Chain A
């Protein structure tokens, strides 16, 4: 079974802190994704990566950066946390073949981040 793990289930940080959220997948997937989930807004894509050291902005990249130094690990960084970044953060991975073949995304359990 594919397993996607996230470093923390719950995290509390203070405004202005630098925050690292880690995600690891064990199925050699090329694609990895970071979403945030807020009530009534569904999942919004922050960043994704289709290969090591490659990254693409999603719909809401402002205030975030990412790092993918190894294939299995994709980190989300909040450079200076703000209260409006309080949210549930979900990491996902999928195989790299795009298009009509379709690739399901495998999700981690999520990190609920609170910024005070």
Chain B
């Protein structure tokens, strides 16, 4: 069963705009990670946020985590055409031995 579920399923924005996507999950986690996948490729790790953290930044990425609501958000600021990709959240459940649950992803299209 899927642990993380992203929302929206698809997002279309123009260059320079911000893109926000959300992830909800069901059980207690050790950490939550966000990955990007360019069309037809493998996934690339973007950022990890631990269960005791509330916010984290990496370049143009900002991730928040609300464990009381079991949700996370990924914000991409000042988007570029190169940000066009699918974005997935992955949760590492507390006793999972490093096994992740991935959501179905948010497909982001950034038009010039």
The chain A residues found within 8 Å of chain B, CB to CB, are 4, 31, 33, 35, 40-45, 48, 50, 56, 58-59, 90, 92, 94-100, 102-110, 112
Size of the chain B interface, CB-CB below 8 angstroms: 30
Number of interchain pairs (Cβ within 8 Å):
76
Q: State the CA gap A41–B86 with chains docked (Å).
A: 13
B45 to A105, Cβ gap below 8 A?
yes
A98 to B98, Cβ gap below 8 A?
yes
Most chain A CB within a 10 A radius of its CB, from B43, B90, B103: B43
Known: A4-B42, A108-B42, A109-B41. A42 touches B48 (CB 8 A): no
Residue of A with least CB distance to B99: A48
B51 to A100, Cβ gap below 8 A?
yes
Q: State the CA gap A95–B52 with chains docked (Å).
A: 21
Which of chain A's residues have a CB closer than 8 A to the CB of B94? 99
B48 to A102, Cβ gap below 8 A?
yes
Residue of A with least CB distance to B32: A102
